[in-house]
Structures are given as structure tokens and as C-alpha cells.
Amino acid sequence: MPVDGLKALAAALAIGLGALGPGVGIGLLAMGALQAIGRNPEAEGKIRTSMILAIAFAEAVAIYALVVALIIKFS
């Protein structure tokens, strides 16, 4: 298999697997936040703020995976 094909495959696996974890994590975060708001609607502001912060940290992992995939692809 040519080197360019292997690089494309490695980049696809890096971003595919790297985005899988944050995607599942964000879904679980949203589920937990919605359940918490349903149980205690008065705390909605604090819950939303914490959820958005946690989602930003989870997305950072996906961005790192994207950077790794681009480095693999173009090196």
C-alpha cells in the first residue's frame, strides 16, 4: 500500500476515534444536565454554566484529535 494511502487511513482513524469519545461524553453531559434541571429547576443557571464549561473541555479533546489527524495527513 502506498505511503499516502496509509497516511490518509491513519488520519481518518485519528479523527474518527478521537471524536467518538467527546461525542459520547457530550451526550452524557447533556443527559445528566437535563435530568438535574428536571429534578431541581431552580438550579438551572448553575447547571447550565457547568455543563457548557464541561462541553468546552470535551470539545478540546476532539480539537486535539483534529490537529493530530492534520499533522499525520500533511507530514
Closest to 69 (Cα-Cα) out of 25, 19, 14, 23: 14
**Total domains, the chain:** 1
CATH of the domain at 14: 1.20.20.10
Q: CB–CB of 73/13 below 8 Å?
A: no
- pLDDT attached to residue 56: 94
| pLDDT exceeds 80 at position 1 | no
pLDDT digits (tens, 9 = 90+) for 45-61: 999 999 999 999 999 99
User: What pLDDT is stored for residue 75 in this prediction?
Assistant: 87
Q: Return the CA Rg of the chain.
A: 17
Identity of the amino acid at 75: S
Question: What pTM does this model have?
Answer: 0.81
pLDDT digits (tens, 9 = 90+) for 3-61: 989 999 999 999 999 999 999 999 999 999 999 999 999 999 999 999 999 999 999 99
> What is the span of the domain harbouring residue 48?
3-74
